[in-house]
Amino acid sequence: MDRGQIYPSEIHRFSDLATELDVFRLTDPAHRSWLPTSGRAVSRRGTLVIYASDRSGPVQAYRLDLKTGQSHGLTAADQLVPESLALTPDERGLCYMDGELLTQANLTNLRTREVYRTPSGYQPGGTLHLSEDGLYATLMEQKSGTSRVRLVLMRTGGAQTVLEGAEAISDPMPRPRRAGLLYRRGNSELWVINFDGAQNRKLRLAPGAVGPAFWSADGRAVLYLNYPEDNKQLHAIREHIPDTNEDRLVATTTQFVAFGGNGDSSVFVGASGSKASPYLLLLVRSVKRELTLCEHRASDPAKVNPVFSPNSQRIFFQSDRDGKMALYAMVVDKLVAETEIEDH
């Protein structure tokens, strides 16, 4: 197994053909590598990235040191779920799903601890979200037409069911600074609910389908992609304030199908789904204007998964543009102001 193994740098720097800006390919496309889709992958200073790869056969988790380019093997999992990786808030540990097991690993000595096991009869939903203080994890579980959201206390492994029903529900995300979470029903509904199951309600969003969504850092707002019912209309970033039921346009986009926000939601990075313009773009909220960063050229733009480092000075994304799925990065410190980061 790769746990404890150190791999030499695979970083390759090149100039994007469309913009001539520098792009760094972080992993070799001879094997597949993925950024997590639910948990935080990048350290506060943007110098460390957690990712999954099948470089040695079975999918395992790795820590990439951007100063040296080296990748350090972290896990010896039997069935690691790539999208479930989550860096703990203190950046000393890693949480992930290993089949039916919610596991925590120490990044220093690589010791692992089984936190929670999916009960018999249920299937885990794949994604894993940690609360901003690291005290709780939220998981999906399913069985015979029933879905439920589980809230797991990380310290003890104790769990409670927040919500259960016959409808397909997914992606429960803890709300920063509140004892609640956001979750999805179908392709056009977002709901919020308290940890104790109270105040379960549907958000009054703009008409159309709902793309990726996430909480703002302060937990005040939900940022989401809106796909209008008229497919000739532009995809838009919108902001919903659950406490007041306000829903407002942030900006229309060059057909974003995946996006992420910087530390204060003043700048967004998005992957265009346009076949004619397969670009990764910055969108500045104050002026509602976009800047093309590079071509992502992914076969499925929805899987580009662009994210900012917490200090907003780097962006990371994934693409199979060079063969298999690989990780990429760009330095944007001359384009985006640095945002404050909280130490845990």
Q: Give residue-wise pLDDT tens across range 261-274.
A: 998 999 999 999 99
Q: What is the pLDDT of residue 144?
A: 87
Averaged pLDDT, 51-74: 96
Q: What is the pLDDT of residue 81?
A: 94
Number of Cα atoms under 13 Å in the Cβ half of residue 112: 16
Distance in angstroms (rounded) separating the CA atoms of residues 320 and 338: 29
Q: What is the pLDDT of residue 127?
A: 85
The answer to whether residues 318 and 26 touch, using CB atoms and an 8 Å cutoff, is: no
Averaged pLDDT, 258-286: 94
Q: What is the pLDDT of residue 46?
A: 79
Instruction: Please write the tens of the pLDDT for every residue from 156-212.
Output: 999 999 999 888 889 999 999 999 999 998 778 999 999 999 999 999 999 999 999
- Give the tokens for residue 231: 């497919």
Residue 303: strand, helix, or coil: helix
CATH of domain 8-42+76-331: 2.130.10.10
Q: By percentage, how much of the chain surpasses pLDDT 90?
A: 85
Q: What is the pLDDT of residue 342?
A: 66
Q: What is the pLDDT of residue 166?
A: 87
Number of Cα atoms under 13 Å in the Cβ half of residue 93: 19
Q: How is the chain split into domains, by residue range? A: 8-42+76-331
Q: What is the pLDDT of residue 67?
A: 94
The answer to whether residues 89 and 341 touch, using CB atoms and an 8 Å cutoff, is: no
Q: Tokens 């894993």 sit at which residue?
A: 128
Q: Is the pLDDT of residue 1 over 70?
A: no
Lowest mean pLDDT among 120-124, 165-169, 321-325: 165-169
Instruction: Please write the tens of the pLDDT for every residue from 74-108.
Output: 999 999 999 999 999 999 999 999 999 999 999 99
Averaged pLDDT, 126-143: 93
| Helix boundaries (H) for 106-228 | none
Q: Is the pLDDT of residue 21 over 80?
A: yes
pTM of the model: 0.94
Residue 343: pLDDT band with limits 50, 70, 90: low
More confident residue, 125 or 180: 180
Averaged pLDDT, 203-230: 94
Distance in angstroms (rounded) separating the CA atoms of residues 25 and 328: 4
Q: Which of 343, 280, 282, 335 is nearest to 310 (CA)?
A: 343
Q: Mean pLDDT in the chain?
A: 93
